[in-house]
């Protein structure tokens, strides 16, 4: 009997595992080349349902390559985009969705394609911390949030009666407040550093573009404060008057200063 060292035995085991892995991979590749379209789709869908997104993506891609036409292939492309989204392959998911929209503009599930595009951008760049602490969202890049807002808006304009419309509307409300909060965060930054024109510009943007957002009263207060600091009392009075009509109990109107607790404060919960 051979007296092998521990290192040699470990090397042999590693080589055997590598060989088995290669054989398994080769077998999987052969399977994607031989299965008929319905079974190939069933394997891909089963992997998707079980959370094995990597395998489902591989099978969906091979399916659409081997069988470029047909109802199953069209559904496979939508499933592929979803699997890529779930695996956080956001750029690939967007490319797949855009290709589907361009190729099948009259597809029965085209509303879902538009909705999924919004969903991808909704989750892009949204970290776990962002989900726990929404108040910190204004500190991150908002480009994907703006794109998601536009994607959901386009979906609702095209397909207002879609089954995905209610969820899209709710997400747009969240995104609207998220974007308004980001603009307000920047406005506060400018104001505290004496950049009153820049702060006023951000406040006006909120008022003009996010009229139903919860941050509009704060934006009106910011606008009045900026005009006061810029020596424009008439414009400040106009902003204050609009604020009185929309939020008569706002802290700015009740004499609470900008730096006091409760006004603009963003509490860190940890």
pLDDT band for position 19 (cuts 50, 70, 90): low
The CA-based dihedral angle spanning residues 72, 78, 79, 80, taken in that order and rounded to the nearest 10 degrees: 110
**Contact status, residue 222 vs residue 264, Cβ threshold 8 Å:** no
pTM over 0.85: no
> Helix, strand or coil for residue 188?
helix
**Contact status, residue 155 vs residue 118, Cβ threshold 8 Å:** yes
Indicate if the pLDDT at residue 135 is higher than 90: no
Q: Which two tokens stand for residue 162?
A: 């879609």
User: What CA–CA distances, in Å, run from 218 to 200, 211, 233, 239, 250?
Assistant: 12, 12, 18, 11, 8
d(CA 236, CA 167): 39
pLDDT in tens, 150-184: 999 999 999 999 999 999 999 999 999 999 999 99
């Amino acid at each position: 009997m051979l007296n092998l060292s521990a290192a040699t035995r470990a090397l042999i085991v590693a080589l055997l595992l590598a060989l088995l892995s290669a054989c398994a991979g080769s077998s999987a590749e052969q399977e994607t080349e031989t299965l008929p379209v319905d079974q190939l789709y069933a394997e891909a869908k089963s992997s998707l349902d079980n959370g094995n997104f990597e395998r489902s993506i591989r099978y969906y891609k091979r399916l659409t390559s081997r069988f470029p036409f047909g109802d199953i292939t069209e559904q496979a492309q939508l499933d592929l985009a979803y699997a890529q989204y779930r695996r956080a392959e956001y750029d690939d998911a967007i490319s797949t969705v855009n290709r589907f929209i361009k190729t099948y503009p009259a597809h029965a599930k085209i509303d879902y394609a538009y909705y999924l595009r919004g969903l991808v951008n909704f989750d892009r760049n949204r970290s776990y911390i962002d989900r726990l602490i929404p108040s910190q969202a204004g500190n991150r890049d908002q480009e994907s949030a703006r794109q998601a807002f536009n994607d959901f808006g386009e979906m609702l304009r095209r397909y207002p009666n879609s089954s995905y419309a209610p969820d899209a509307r709710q997400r747009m409300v969240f995104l609207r407040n998220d974007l308004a909060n980001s603009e307000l965060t920047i406005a506060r930054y400018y104001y505290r550093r004496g950049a009153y024109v820049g702060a006023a510009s951000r406040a006006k943007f909120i008022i003009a573009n996010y009229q139903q957002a919860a941050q509009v009263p704060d934006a009106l207060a910011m606008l009045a404060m900026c005009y006061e600091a810029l020596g424009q009392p008439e414009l400040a009075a106009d902003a204050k008057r609009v604020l009185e009509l929309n939020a008569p109990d706002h802290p700015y109107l009740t004499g609470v200063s900008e730096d006091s607790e409760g006004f603009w404060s963003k509490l860190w919960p940890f």
